[in-house]
């Protein structure tokens, strides 16, 4: 899913025609397979990655079809809300990995990390929130908080759009959302600006660049990696040296100056 999103961006940067709609169908199938068969979780060597590359797949479909109203997203949300009597629950699964919570996290990533620079991604997040609100009678406090958090974070970058979105909702729904939003403090960091939305654009630019171009992104990236990842990374080496200085102060070197008082006394005795 991630690679197909880079290909999509790269073709756009090179002014090539969009991929055939066949790839939309394949991406939708990949999203559904990952969510159903792997429960939206990718177990890596060092850590478990919630959602994996699923946000990139959703962004791919949205930009491929140029719409925020994604049928695959609505179908997944409707399925997550089909529990009896509440939300759908997977057995032996932590609360934060249940279908509803995972899909709300998906909307949060799409709306913030992609949406901070991309209007269409923000609209996808709003559409997903609306799909969830159709089943709001099944929400507990945790799910209301998760849904409100999406809007709180988006409100940092697009307050007018969030206000416009809330104004279109029924008063009783807006009041509940506002009450949950009012107790959530936004904790935005630089990672939001350098997150998935920026990284995909950077790597697509690198891969779309003609091979052998002098002073291009590809060459700068190739020169940067050995320095950053190598055994003598300047930043890492400098920090280690500084820590050693704090932990083990260097020994005081003996002075080479002659003690003039002792020397003069010795000369008078002779």
Examine the domain organization and report whether 173 and 234 are in the same domain: no
Residues β-bridged to residue 136: none
Whether the pLDDT of residue 217 is over 80: the answer is no
- 63 and 115 in a single domain? The answer is yes
d(CA 5, CA 155): 26
pLDDT greater than 50 at residue 196: yes
Same domain, 76 and 9: yes
Query: pLDDT value at position 2?
Result: 86
Reported as a single tens digit per residue, the pLDDT across 26-85 is 999 999 999 999 999 887 776 778 898 899 999 999 999 999 999 999 999 999 998 878
Select from 87, 105, 93 the least CA-distant residue to 146: 105
Q: What is the pLDDT of residue 89?
A: 92
Residues 23 and 82 occupy one common structural domain: yes
> What residue numbers bound the domain in which 72 lies?
2-200
Phi/psi for 48 (5° steps) reads -95, 130
Residues 53 and 150 in one domain: yes
> Would residue 90 count as lying in a domain?
yes
**Same domain as 123, residue 40:** yes
């Amino acid at each position: 899913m991630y690679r197909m999103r880079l290909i999509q961006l790269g073709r756009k940067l090179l002014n090539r025609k969009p991929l055939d709609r066949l790839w939309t169908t394949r991406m939708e199938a990949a999203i559904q397979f990952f969510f159903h068969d792997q429960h939206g979780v990718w177990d890596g060597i060092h850590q478990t990655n919630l959602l994996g590359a699923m946000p990139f797949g959703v962004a791919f479909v949205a930009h491929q079809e140029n719409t925020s109203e994604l049928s695959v997203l609505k179908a997944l949300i409707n399925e997550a809300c089909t529990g009896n009597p509440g939300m759908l629950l997977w057995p032996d699964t932590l609360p934060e990995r249940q279908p509803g919570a995972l899909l709300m996290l998906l909307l949060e990533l799409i709306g913030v990390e992609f949406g901070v620079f991309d209007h269409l991604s923000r609209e996808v997040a709003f559409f997903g929130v609306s799909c969830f609100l159709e089943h709001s009678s099944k929400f507990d406090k945790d799910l209301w908080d998760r849904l409100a958090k999406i809007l709180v974070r988006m409100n940092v970058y697009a307050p007018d759009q969030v206000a416009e979105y809330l104004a279109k909702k029924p008063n009783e729904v807006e009041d509940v959302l506002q009450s949950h939003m009012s107790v959530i403090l936004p904790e935005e960091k630089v990672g939001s600006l350098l997150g998935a939305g920026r990284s995909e654009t950077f790597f697509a630019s690198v891969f779309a660049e003609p091979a052998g171009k002098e002073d291009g992104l590809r060459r700068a990236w190739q020169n940067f990696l050995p320095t950053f990842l190598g055994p003598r990374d300047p930043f890492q080496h400098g920090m280690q040296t500084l820590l050693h200085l704090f932990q083990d102060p260097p020994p005081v070197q003996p002075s080479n100056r002659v003690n003039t008082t002792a020397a003069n006394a010795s000369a008078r005795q002779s």
